A and B are shown apart, each in its own frame.
Chain A
Amino acid sequence: MNNSSTKNGSRNAGRTIDIVNKGLKRRYRKEKRFRLYGILSIAASAAFLAFLLTSIVMNGYSAFLQTCIRLDVPIEAGMIDESNPKRSDFQGIIKSAIREYYPDVTERREKRELYSLFSSGAAYQLRNNVLDNPPEAGATLSLWVLADDDVDMLMKGHMKRDVPESERRLNDRQLRWIEKLENDDRIEKRFNTTFFTSGDSREPELAGIWGAVRGSFYTMLVTLALSFPIGIAAAVYLEEFAPKNLATDFIEVNINNLAAVPSIVFGLLGLAVFLNFFGMPRSTPLVGGIVLMLMTLPTIIIASRAALKAVPPSIREAALGVGSSKLQVVSSHVLPLALPGMLTGTIIGMAQALGETAPLLMIGMVAFIVDIPGGFTDPAAVMPVQIYLWADSPERAFVEKTSAAIMVLLGFLIAMNALAVVMRKKFERRW
């Protein structure tokens, strides 16, 4: 019996190693294949990302430069209204300066074509200049004024010069005028400060992202101020104090569900509750922030609960053991240790909210707003909304503005997510 069993065993052992050896190659191959799949999927996603980023950057980098024209503006006596300089005819002054530079353009139609090379913003530039330091009569101001978006597209090469006249938005005469400017070194691409300092506009050369950045800032402030304390309080209570019963299970299921609800639903809720029932003002960061708060709350609660769960029970037990109350355990031991994780969750939730448009559509934040919002109850748009609106505009020059705005938004998102990583690395404690 014994004998046979050893025999059996040794024979079995021999067979096992045979089996192992036989299958070894196949298993190695399998693992190799699996690794290859993994590398391929990473390469594919990296390629998609690279493609997306390059196409955005290629489309958008030119928006950071803007074609400007140097115009000599002679100021004659009587041109500036002495009593109220604000109300002077700045458009007229710009036009007379343009006529002076092109003395041979006399016909009405030609003049219109000529004026259209210059942005309507030129008059505002002149006004600001004059109001800041009033010139004396007889002086000549040398200003870099904005060129019209068509000229800008031509200078950036988005509009071809060598195609038939009917196929471009600038005619041959206008091209000749532009060539004259080029020969005199009066036209050049300069850094586009307008893009970073002004609000939306229907003239691409006057449109800027600043209004939307401010709108996003106020909206995020409301979201953060509401969702951070509420989310953390909810998570702490659920994780540390709440009894485990059917009711808390039900709440947990619902929080997880809410995290997966399409964001437009929160917009509809906002419309019904905050606008229609409470009568809050439409299109404002206040309402937008509250709606986005509803959207980010589940994310924050889930992340915070995970962070609390990761704190080892020994910490709690030790604190309880030296006589701390439950509240003391939580507030001075568990919470500080879980906070880095909670912050990471909050920042990621905020980054998600920053890129959201759908819920804002319902509460009127997808709107054309020129004035830069100055507070929580001024009408405002946010960055993704601005991108959406520009993408929908007919003017060709908005294509590059759209990509540039995406770059700005991506910049903010990268900064926020990097902050989350840094915070975690800095404060995280491993056991």
Chain B
Amino acid sequence: MRKSVTLVAFMLMLAGALSVIGCGQKAGQTAKEEETAGKSGQAEEAIESARDYISIVGSSTVYPFATVVAEQFGKTTDFKTPKIESTGSGGGFKLFAAGVGVEHPDITNASRRIKKTECEMSAENGVTEVVELKIGYDGIVMANSKKAEPFKLTRKEIFLALAKEVPDPSGEEGKLVPNPYKTWNDVNPDLPETRIEVLGPPPTSGTRDAFVELAMETGAKEFAWIKALKKEDKKKFKGIAHTVREDGAYVEAGENDNLIVQKLNANPDALGIFGFSFLDQNTDKMQGAFVDGVQPAFSAIADGSYPLSRPLFFYVKKAHVGTIPGMAEYLEEFTSEKAWGDEGYLTEKGLIPMPEKEREKYASIAKNLTPITCDEL
């Protein structure tokens, strides 16, 4: 019994001590907050600065690049390292557009351009000045294991192999049938006689959006009547071109691209869809499929000859520049030649740099903080 009493006393003391620590810390923090608020009192914006690090959200595709810049920035300057959350492009815009103030993020990364609706939503919430910065390009690759032969596909074949409904093989215009193709050989007799099995990201992923848009939509447009449909009935067109088959030929393999690489290695017959940086890191195991005759390579994506590439962006809240410490310097680091240049450290992580002219353009936008208007979208 005595033992237990000591135990109770000990536990109570521990709990008490913990709550004291908690309070002490909180009190200290408030004091610090007041101090910083006092310091930034000179800032013209009506934001109380209680955050001394940059908060970044957004695309998981830009995440590997933004984190490298953030780390470099934190190590080479006296500012704190920015905090980066990978929320996906859409989720990033939602957080970003919620308002101006320390509780909202300063920058959002995106693997697509901001939508007009998102831009307007920001404006409604007081985020009136948004600076758009393009950082480079990313390639989307269809790759398979090196144990097999590389695929040579056209976008039309990709569409036929992966769409849920395809034009009737008999050639009758305007008639759709559920995708009948079982093997690649069915799509085009020149292709190998293996079962169509493609591992790719789920619909929530920006990579999937871009793949559908760049590969399948263009492939679908090869059929004149589907192309004509785009003008007449956009919704129906999207239903045809953007719907991926669900009968097991396309396997949703999750957002983890490493997992797809591992699965491809185990199954040489399958193709996988992921970002170029993962192919770049796994050149000993994986090979990119030729799309319209071009194999994904650094140079082919940079010069635009590889068709499945998309621009990457990040968006900056202008109102936060000058209030959150280090914003201008972070932009400077990101837009410096040693980061996004032809031989910058971002290229080592798989970012495809923009042509020099374009880099100059966006560097000057970053410097002058020229905001975009929703009307130009």
Contacts and interface: CB of A to CB of B under 8 A. Distances in A.
B185 interface: no
A7 interface: no
A263 interface: no
Interface residues of B, number: 54
B284 A395 contact: no
B62 to A, nearest CB: 12
A281 B50 CA distance: 9
B19 A225 contact: yes
A343 B29 CA distance: 31
Given A112-B343, A228-B15, A427-B4, A395 B25 contact: no
Nearest to B284: A167
- Residue picked from A116, A203, A369, most chain B C-beta under 10 Å: A369
B256 A368 contact: no
Contact of B281 (A163, A224, A340, A394): A394
Interface stretch (A77-85, A249-257, A370-378, A407-415): A370-378
A335 B275 CA distance: 58
A392 interface: yes
Contacts of A368: 63, 67, 70, 83-86
Determine the interface band of chain A, counting residues with CB < 8 A from chain B: 35 or more
B18 A336 contact: no
A41 interface: no
A168 B7 CA distance: 60
B257 interface: yes
A227 to B, nearest CB: 10
A409 B211 CA distance: 37
B103 A394 contact: no
A75 interface: no
Contact of B71 (A166, A202, A376): A202
A392 B255 contact: yes
Contact of A339 (B8, B28, B258): B8
A181 interface: no
Contacts, number: 128
Contacts of A399: 258
A275 B22 CA distance: 19
B55 to A, nearest CB: 7
A124 B75 contact: yes
A392 B205 CA distance: 14
Where chain B touches its partner, the secondary structure class is: helix
A60 interface: no
Contacts of A209: none
Interface in A182-222: 201-203, 221-222
A395 B348 contact: no
B103 A279 contact: yes
A394 B83 contact: no
B19 to A, nearest CB: 5
A367 B83 contact: yes
A370 B71 contact: yes
B22 A225 contact: yes
A391 interface: yes
A93 to B, nearest CB: 15
Contact of B146 (A167, A286, A369, A427): A167
A229 B281 contact: no
A366 B85 contact: yes
B15 A225 contact: yes
A202 B25 contact: no
Interface string B1-44: 10111011001000100110110011011000000000000000
B362 interface: no
A281 to B, nearest CB: 7
Nearest to B60: A392
Given A202-B71, A394-B258, A394-B277, A169 B7 contact: no
A29 interface: no
A163 B284 contact: yes
B259 to A, nearest CB: 8
A116 B348 contact: yes
A369 B68 CA distance: 11
B181 interface: no
Interface in B58-86: 60, 63-64, 67-68, 70-71, 74-75, 80-81, 83-86
B71 A391 contact: no
A201 B71 contact: yes
- Residue picked from A339, A370, A371, A391, most chain B C-beta under 10 Å: A370
A337 interface: yes
Interface string A148-161: 00000000000110
Given A228-B15, A392-B258, A367 B85 contact: yes
Contacts of B84: 367-368
Contact of A377 (B1, B29, B70): B29
Nearest to B102: A281
- Residue picked from A166, A279, A371, most chain B C-beta under 10 Å: A371
A384 interface: no
Contact of B81 (A116, A369, A375): A369
Nearest to B343: A112
A283 B283 contact: no
Contact of A169 (B67, B83, B86, B283): B283
A394 B55 contact: no
A281 B85 contact: no
B64 A393 contact: yes
B364 interface: no
Given A369-B83, A370-B71, 16 more contacts: A160-B284, A202-B67, A283-B83, A332-B5, A336-B5, A366-B85, A367-B83, A368-B70, A368-B84, A370-B81, A371-B81, A376-B29, A394-B350, A396-B281, A399-B258, A427-B4
